């Protein structure tokens, strides 16, 4: 940077809020704390889980819905609980597969003006409601021993790339992150490889290894089991606050 760029420049008028900020906003932190406390106290008893992401719009007769049910069923047979966002679609499918197989079925619901209440396959003791997305995300991450992303929209992408970022930057322990639905994810994987990696060098080649893609529920289980068969890997909450 040139020396003249470091010189103090004349201050310009700054924009101001269009309304007076109320002191009550400071009390928001107590609402946040209460959500963290309830989430920790509940999920501490849920045991090792796998978080399943996916669209709320997927119907029960859709192949992806049925795929999510089967994956959750197999996860339960392996001894894992299942965490979803608690809503309909892929979330409902994940909870259904766990619930009908006698596993822990956790729902992390978010209060939104345009979505209905939680699905019917969540264990009553594991049914949580959140006001704040960032608190909910902590719960998705802290107790999950793996993450499975089925086809979805912006919310699914947000959750997926949040987890990828946390693993890539070492903010959480590396755990399996598995994309299910090769046809759905193919374009994104191609773009990440061709543009982010090869054209712009914004990620490292090893980062591509973070996102295996499959259509096979058995392959999902195999990836998770092989990961935890390594002597140095063990089941434990992967986010220390």
What range defines the domain where residue 65 resides? 29-227
**pLDDT value, residue 234:** 72
| CATH number of the domain enclosing 59 | 3.40.50.450
Residue 151 lies in a domain: yes
- Give a yes or no: residue 17 inside a domain: no
**pTM higher than 0.85 for the full model?**
yes
pLDDT value of position 56:
94
- 236 within domain boundaries: no
Quote the CA–CA distance of 200 and 28 in Å, as a whole number: 41
Q: Which residues of the chain have pLDDT under 70?
A: 1-9, 21-25, 114-116, 231-233, 239-241
pLDDT of residue 75: 98
Instruction: Tell me how far apart the alpha carbons of residues 163 and 169 are, in angstroms, rounded to a whole number.
Output: 10
In a domain, 117, yes or no: yes
Predicted pLDDT of residue 196: 97
What pLDDT does residue 10 have?
76
State the pLDDT at residue 43. 94
Residue 238 lies in a domain: no
Total number of domains constituting the chain: 1
Asked whether residue 189 is assigned to any structural domain, the reply reads yes
Q: What pLDDT, on a 0 to 100 scale, did the predictor assign at position 214?
A: 98
173 domain residue, yes or no: yes
Q: Would you list the DSSP string of the chain?
A: --GGGGS-----PPP--SSPPPGGGGGHHHHHHHHHHHHHHHHTTT-SEEEEE--SS--TTSHHHHHHHHHHHHHHHTT-EEEE-SSSTHHHHHHHHHHHTT--EEEEEE--TTS----TTS-GGGEEEES-HHHHHHHHHHTEEEEEE-S--HHHHHHHHHHHHHHHTTSS----EEEE-HHHHHHHHHHIIIIIIIIT--S-GGGGGG--EES-HHHHHHHHHHHHHSTT-----S---
Q: Which helix (H) or strand (E) is 73 found in, with range?
A: helix 63-77
pLDDT at site 20: 75
Domain-embedded: residue 239: no
- Tell me, what's the pLDDT at 232? 63
């Amino acid at each position: 940077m040139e020396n003249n760029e470091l010189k103090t420049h004349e201050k310009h008028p700054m924009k101001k809020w269009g309304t007076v900020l109320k002191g009550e906003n400071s009390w928001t932190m107590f609402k946040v704390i209460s959500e963290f406390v309830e989430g920790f106290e509940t999920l501490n008893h849920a045991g090792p889980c796998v978080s399943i992401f996916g669209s709320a719009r997927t119907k029960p007769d859709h192949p992806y819905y049925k795929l999510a049910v089967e994956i959750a069923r197999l996860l339960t047979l392996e001894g894992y609980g299942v965490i979803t966002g608690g809503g309909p679609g892929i979330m409902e499918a994940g909870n259904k597969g766990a619930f009908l197989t006698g596993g822990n079925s956790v729902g992390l619901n978010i209060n939104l003006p345009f979505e209905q209440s939680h699905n019917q396959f969540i264990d009553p003791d594991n049914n949580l409601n959140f006001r704040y997305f960032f608190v909910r995300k902590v719960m998705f991450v802290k107790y999950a021993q793996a993450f499975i992303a089925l086809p979805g929209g912006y919310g699914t992408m947000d959750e997926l790339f949040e987890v990828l970022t946390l693993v890539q930057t070492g903010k959480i322990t590396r755990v399996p992150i598995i994309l299910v639905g090769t046809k759905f994810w193919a374009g994104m994987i191609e773009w990440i490889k061709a543009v982010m990696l090869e054209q712009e060098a914004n990620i490292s080649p090893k980062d591509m290894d973070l996102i295996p893609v499959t259509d096979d529920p058995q392959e999902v289980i195999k990836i998770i089991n092989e990961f935890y068969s390594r002597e140095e890997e063990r089941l434990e909450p992967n986010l220390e606050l």
